[in-house]
Amino acid sequence: MIEVPDSFRAMPRWWHGGTAWLDRLPRLADDVCRRLRLTVDGPARHGSNALVLPVRRDGLPYALRLSPPDDHDLAAQVTALQFWAGRGTVLLHEADPAVGAMLLERLDVDRSPAALPLPEAVPILARVMRRLAVDPPEDVPTTRSWLRSGAERFAREWAELDRPLPGRLLAGVREAIENLLTEPGEDRAVNADLHYDQVLGGAREPWLVVDPVLARGDIEYDLARILWSRLDEMTDRAVHDHLRTVITEADLRPDRARAWVIFRAADYLFWGLRHGLTEDPPRCRRLLELFLPRPVP
């Protein structure tokens, strides 16, 4: 049987939900492998919610992803992978949501944009963003609905969180939302959770997304995450340079891309403060200061 890594047990995911599933995981993995005729052939890897085992069947390499079957994201992940069907994403071969199992294409877990210098990593994510921008399905969340939600709740959250931004920044955020809602955007498939750690090296395509979140609308929706997730490595000038790189590589409208950075930075700032995050909210504030006009002396 496999051993559950201590680092996986230490994930915040289990602090409140308990470890009962983790305790069952070795037996569960053994049962799934036996049923699907899989042989584990390497050490387990994990993110915050799922364990991934390198496995083989009939001599061919795969990856077995196991997560709690009550994970509300699981069905959506299966739907997203089935929708993109390997275009810019890892291939899904089999899924058993009842036990939280997905049999996936084996990717190179040691090759990721997260390990590359930013001038190499940023264009990769930008090209992946555009690669996923195909005709969207109908029955998925829209980026416009998220904009409307922000327009309705940001002022209230700002007050409830004891005004974590200067009033001028909140006004700038609301103006950016209004501009995004007023002007027509794209209507394409969107990965609403695009960041460096969720892109791995592949054989069919150089870079493939794992765990995509499927939405429709403006593909710039999660552009801000490309910036804030490695913001500590960037000078102020580099932030603008990397944004221009994404705009060029993903063929985006500059004003709309900047407005989406403003919206997402504010959205994640408020979310992070409500959930007790300490590192990302200051990064989001920095983005807002960089992209919203400063008062004239």
pLDDT tens-place string over residues 163-209: 999 999 999 999 999 999 999 999 999 999 999 999 999 999 999 99
Rg (CA), the chain: 20
Q: What is the largest CA-CA distance in the chain?
A: 71
Confidence of residue 13 (pLDDT cuts 50, 70, 90): confident
8 Å CB contact between 226 and 242: yes
Residue 16's pLDDT is 78
Tens of pLDDT, residues 115-126 = 999 999 999 999
Asked whether residue 296 carries a pLDDT value surpassing 60, the answer given is no
Amino acid at 245: T
Residues in the chain, total: 297
First to last CA, the chain: 67
- The token pair at 175 is 């103006």
Residue ranges per domain, the chain?
A: 6-105, 113-291
Is 6-105 CATH 3.40.50.720? no
Mode of pairing for the β-strands spanning 39-40 and 45-46 = unpaired
Say which CATH topology domain 113-291 has: Aminoglycoside 3'-phosphotransferase; Chain: A, domain 2 (3.90.1200)
Query: What is the signed CA dihedral for 175, 180, 181, 184, rounded to 10 degrees?
Result: 150
DSSP state of 197: G
Q: CB neighbours of 277 closer than 8 A, spacing ≥ 6?
A: none
Q: Active-site residues: which are they?
A: 193
Closest C-alpha among 190, 103, 202 to residue 143: 190
> Taking the model in full, what pTM does it have?
0.92
Q: CB neighbours of 157 closer than 8 A, spacing ≥ 6?
A: 270, 274
Asked whether residue 297 carries a pLDDT value surpassing 70, the answer given is no
Beta-strand ranges (E) seen in 28-186 are: 39-40, 45-46, 51-57, 60-66, 92-96, 101-105
- What is the C-alpha to C-alpha distance for residues 3 and 5, in angstroms, rounded to an integer? 6
- What is the C-alpha to C-alpha distance for residues 219 and 192, in angstroms, rounded to an integer? 8
